[in-house]
Amino acid sequence: MAQDYRENLKLAMDTLRAHKLRSFLAVFGVVIGVGVVMIVVALIQGFRQNVVDSISSFGADTAFVSRFDQGPHVGRRPKEERERKPLKVEDGEAIRASCPAVTGLTTWVQYWDVNHQVRYQGNIVNGPDFRGVEPNYPNVYANATLKEGRFFTEGENDHRADVTVLGEDTAKALFGELPATGRDVLLDGGSNFRVIGVMNKPKGGFGAGDEDRRLLIPFQTFKKIYPAAYEISIRFQAKTDQLDAAVDQAREVLRRRRKVAYDAPDNFSISTSQEQVQQFDEIVGMVVLATFVIASIGLLIGGVGVMNIMLVSVTERTREIGVRKAIGARRRDITMQFLFEAMTLTGMGGLIGVAMIETIVAGIRQWTDWRAIVPMWAVILAISVSISVGLIFGVWPAVKASRLDPVEALRYE
């Protein structure tokens, strides 16, 4: 049996070598179908890794509290969300005091009604992620480490000092390669603020909320500059393996403080890193599904091309089939021979597609910051699907070849 397989594989390879151009054109659709799926999977896997790293860098045991529901949304938020009461500093204090599973908590304030700007001499950064934070901010944010300088103190917060800590990209845009600490920047055309620290670029950072684009000042200083600012957010850290308990405790405290009826939904949002990754995976799943549908069209076209080529091959080799039957080949032998040829044909198309995408992905990693990844399961799936296409679309030509009458086949010219 093994010898028969080796012989069939040898015959299939001989056929491919004899008709190289025709074989490639026949499986071009398979190459495209496999390539589309693999390139999308590679890019999504790389992007997902960035997202997971970025979300996890805030701390696997932390949760984020906001009056708005988290996750992607299109256009304006629903009226119900817009009309929710803002969170208060006292809400964070209540969580800190009443939730035994919470080990650390910080609040911050933002003012979205102003197009913020920071300036140093002739360099300007528009729209930095500007917020007023508490001095314990780095204790709760796992990725809020300093590249240079220090964070502000409780005394600077209490005395509303004009000091700031910049994200790495903001500092680079303002000062280039010069040290940032000790220099004064102008915030929103008002007061000068002394830069006392620069944060490291967080691992896998992405989007408009990157810490490398942030501009942080003491909470009380922010309230001094923008007394109308009301958008308070909270992040808390749970004790080891007690994140779910901490979330439940915080939810109970907030529902009670915000007077939410027992049968009414929350008028706030508490999200964890795991939930944010799950939301991303749900979106990506729809993209991957759409990609598979599109790629299946290429595979279908490739399969039809392979079936057509195999039917032509059966016609061209009618006399050969008659000779093989005359010397004892069974119908099963003929069927297996042509099935092997079809599967080898599409399998080679799958290998070409894999090699092409691996080369493209290597180039993407080499020349860009995109962490494109081709997982092994995608390679195995691509080759398996391409071989399956040959199996499915090679059945009819193989059966047709096996049913030829040996006498009529020998007479065929």
The 3-state DSSP class for residue 371 equals coil
Which pLDDT score is estimated for 73?
60
Which pLDDT score is estimated for 328?
76
- Phi–psi pair at 162, nearest 5 degrees: -90, 75
Asked if residue 14 has pLDDT above 70, the reply is no
Domain annotation covers residue 47: yes
Q: Are residues 324 and 388 in the same domain?
A: yes
Which pLDDT score is estimated for 208?
40
What residue type is assigned to position 407 of the chain? V
Asked if residue 358 has pLDDT above 80, the reply is yes
Q: Are residues 212 and 123 in the same domain?
A: yes
Domain annotation covers residue 40: yes
Q: Are residues 222 and 287 in the same domain?
A: no
Q: Are residues 403 and 283 in the same domain?
A: yes
pLDDT band at 389 (very low <50, low <70, confident <90, very high): confident
Average pLDDT of every residue of the chain: 81
H-run or E-run covering 215 = strand 214-218
Cα–Cα dist 259/266, whole Å: 10
Q: Are residues 288 and 402 in the same domain?
A: yes
Which pLDDT score is estimated for 205?
47
Taking the C-alpha atoms of 375, 381, 382 and 385 in order, what is their torsion angle to the nearest 10 degrees? -170
Asked if residue 196 has pLDDT above 90, the reply is yes
Which pLDDT score is estimated for 206?
45
Q: Are residues 18 and 134 in the same domain?
A: no
pTM over 0.75: no
What residue type is assigned to position 60 of the chain? A
Cα–Cα dist 138/120, whole Å: 25
Cα–Cα dist 196/80, whole Å: 41
DSSP secondary structure of 89-122: HHHHHHHHHH-TTEEEEEEEEE-TTS--EEEETT
Asked if residue 6 has pLDDT above 70, the reply is no
Tell me which of 190, 207, 227 is where a domain ends: 227
Q: Higher-confidence residue: 196 or 38? A: 196
Which pLDDT score is estimated for 207?
43
Lowest-confidence pick of 162-171, 221-230, 287-296: 287-296
What residue type is assigned to position 185 of the chain? V
Domain annotation covers residue 316: yes
Q: Higher-confidence residue: 193 or 73? A: 193
Q: Are residues 283 and 197 in the same domain?
A: no
Most confident of 18-32, 59-73, 310-324, 386-400: 386-400
pLDDT band at 11 (very low <50, low <70, confident <90, very high): low
Q: Are residues 122 and 198 in the same domain?
A: yes
Domain annotation covers residue 303: yes
Q: What is the DSSP letter of 211?
A: G
pLDDT band at 209 (very low <50, low <70, confident <90, very high): very low
Which pLDDT score is estimated for 12?
59
Q: Are residues 152 and 47 in the same domain?
A: no
Tally the domains of the chain: 2
Which pLDDT score is estimated for 4?
54
Q: Are residues 217 and 283 in the same domain?
A: no
Domain annotation covers residue 21: yes
pLDDT band at 71 (very low <50, low <70, confident <90, very high): low
What residue type is assigned to position 225 of the chain? I
Model confidence over 299-335: pLDDT tens digits?
787 788 788 877 877 777 778 777 777 777 788 878 8
Model confidence over 240-293: pLDDT tens digits?
888 889 999 999 999 999 988 888 888 888 888 777 777 777 777 777 777 777
Domain annotation covers residue 60: no
Cα–Cα dist 270/276, whole Å: 11
Mean pLDDT of 116-129: 88
Domain annotation covers residue 246: no
Tell me which of 227, 259, 290 is where a domain ends: 227
Model confidence over 50-63: pLDDT tens digits?
776 666 656 668 88
Range of the domain at 163: 114-227
Q: Are residues 300 and 406 in the same domain?
A: yes
Tell me which of 200, 227, 254 is where a domain ends: 227
Q: Higher-confidence residue: 74 or 253? A: 253
SS3 per residue for 306-358: HHHHHHHHHHHCHHHHHHHHHCCCCHHHHHHHHHHHHHHHHHHHHHHHHHHHH
Q: Are residues 223 and 283 in the same domain?
A: no
Domain annotation covers residue 391: yes
Q: What stretches of 159-272 show up as alpha helix (H) in DSSP?
A: 168-175, 219-225, 243-257
